[in-house]
Amino acid sequence: MSDLSSMTPSERRFYEAGERQERIWVFIVLILLTVLTIIAMLYVVIDYNLVTKSGGQTPVIGQMTTDQAQPEGVAVETGPNAYTVSLVARMWRWAPGPIHVKQGAKITFRVTSADVLHGFEVQGTDINLTAVPGEIGLVSHVFRKPGTYYIICNEYCGLMHHAMASPIIVDPARPEAEAAQ
């Protein structure tokens, strides 16, 4: 702020005009920030592929946790060499324990959240969707190599966000020859 009282009239006009311009530009920037923030949020919710692919399923958070046929974090056989794993993300864990799946099988993850948004990402794969409360996200993957993969959270969700990781253990498929013996 300038001391207007010690200025000549022309200096004073100069500073007053300057401050008026400054206020106008601060106002324009605030409007732009607001509009861009709203557009970014709409883009994520409406158009962004990663948010959820619920496949027309209705919100089922209660159902998913109580459904005996779909226990949390357990691979349930749903077809020939196809399994479904249901997960309810919570601050700050994905599953009650390690998730065992079979190498070479089609694994479909049904993912929802019990509290806030979580980012369901499996390291070393292209699995990446957002766990949304009240929606089931569906993503399928075939694990070609046995080993341990980690589900991490890529959507900041609070204090222990960085520690929100659960292992997926891909058990080796038994070779045909061995099974036949």
Q: Is residue 45 within 8 Å of residue 51, measured between CB atoms?
A: yes
Q: Which is nearer to Cu ion, 134 or 147 (CB)?
A: 134
Which of residues 86, 118, 139, 166 is near Cu ion by CB under 5 A?
A: 118
CA angle 65, 115, 51 (to 5 degrees): 95
| 93 near Cu ion, rule: CB under 5 A | no
Smallest distance from the beta carbon of 79 to Cu ion, in angstroms? Answer: 30
CB neighbours of 177 closer than 8 A, spacing ≥ 6? none
Smallest distance from the beta carbon of 148 to Cu ion, in angstroms? Answer: 20
Give φ, ψ of 130 to 5 degrees. -100, 130
Q: Which is nearer to Cu ion, 90 or 106 (CB)?
A: 90
Q: What is the DSSP letter of 89?
A: E
Which of residues 164, 166, 168, 170 is near Cu ion by CB under 5 A?
A: 164
Stretch that binds Cu ion, among 47-55, 113-121, 140-148, 166-174 (CB under 5 A): 113-121
The total of other beta-carbon atoms located within 10 Å of residue 88's CB is 24
The CA-atom distances, in angstroms, between 164 and each of 3, 118, 126 are 55, 9, 18
Give φ, ψ of 114 to 5 degrees. -95, -10
Q: Is residue 120 within 8 Å of residue 127, measured between CB atoms?
A: yes
# binding residues, Cu ion (CB under 5 A): 4
Q: Which is nearer to Cu ion, 88 or 105 (CB)?
A: 88
Stretch that binds Cu ion, among 19-27, 30-38, 53-61, 146-154 (CB under 5 A): 146-154
Q: Which is nearer to Cu ion, 60 or 132 (CB)?
A: 132
What CA dihedral angle connects 57, 102, 131 and 161, to 10 degrees?
170
Name 118's bridge partners. 131
| 153 near Cu ion, rule: CB under 5 A | yes
Q: Which is nearer to Cu ion, 102 or 118 (CB)?
A: 118
Q: Which is nearer to Cu ion, 151 or 164 (CB)?
A: 164
| 157 near Cu ion, rule: CB under 5 A | yes
Provide the binding-site residues for Cu ion, judged by CB under 5 A. 118, 153, 157, 164
